[in-house]
Chains A and B, each alone.
Chain A
Amino acid sequence: MKAYLSRRYHFPASHRLHSDAYDAEQNRAVFGKCNHPHGHGHNYAVQVTVSGEVDPETGMVCNLADLDAFAQANLLDRFDHTNLNLLDCFRESVSTTENLTIEIHRIFRGFTAAHLERVHVEETSNNSFDYAGNVDLRFI
């Protein structure tokens, strides 16, 4: 039996949307208040979905304690209470939640105890992003 397990993690962080490819005026025009010079922040919510056969011995797709430990070491210890723009992953790219979602998907591909299905990130309660690599998201 194949089941899907989803776990939500939360972290606050700051960021500023700004591209070196634009001049100051273009940055203001494209990013609006997200370009304000000193940044701003969000309470990000990350929802990670993994899948696999339910192990008859444990009743689990994977041990939640293992997923939580992986998330603590690789997601929360890295992003929680940080300025995203100063992290290596945003040195070359804008710290939009699109790019953040793709980066978090890349991170959780390193979790080997189950198959990563998708990553969903909520930047605020009004906007959220989903990434599953190059697969069709419609039916998940």
Chain B
Amino acid sequence: MILLTRKAEFSSAHFYWNDAWSEEENRRVFGKCANRNGHGHNYTLEVTVAGEVDPVSGFVVDLKQLKDILEREVVSVYDHRHLNLEVPEFAKAIPTTENIAIAIWQRLEGKIPNAKLHRVRVYEMPDLFADFYGER
């Protein structure tokens, strides 16, 4: 088995807010991330897939194909969008780095031919990232 990682980038706006809480509670837990006017990040996505090397092509997956899948399933939906307001999975779930990694996993699961999704890593900033391995 070999692991292969492909990167993609998207730039999006978001804010953190739990509707079940008071404004004060939101401020206390989420700090400046609770500003409802939103703020934004340059996100970097790293998708790692696991598979066997095809003896003929020498590939685990066709990188061009993987790039197209990431573009179609994730980047075209998230890039230059407001995650809370324009991306359906964040109508309820708060678009934290953890939840973005889980949502991207769910978008990609079963869509990559000949390889198994191994890890989704999302960098919100160079000093902060979340990993999801499909563990429920």
Contact = CB atoms under 8 A, between A and B. Distances in A.
Given A1-B102, A3-B98, A60-B96, A8 B128 contact: yes
Given A6-B128, A58-B18, A63-B29, A1 B97 contact: no
A60 B129 contact: no
A59 B128 contact: no
Contacts of B71: none
A2 to B, nearest CB: 4
A58 B94 contact: yes
A59 B127 contact: no
A54 interface: yes
Contact of A2 (B16, B29, B136): B136
Interface residues of A, number: 20
A46 to B, nearest CB: 10
A3 B102 contact: yes
Contacts of B128: 5-8, 64
Contacts of B99: 54, 59
Interface of B: 16, 18, 20, 29-31, 93-99, 101-102, 126-133, 135-136
Interface of A: 1-9, 49, 54, 56-61, 63-65
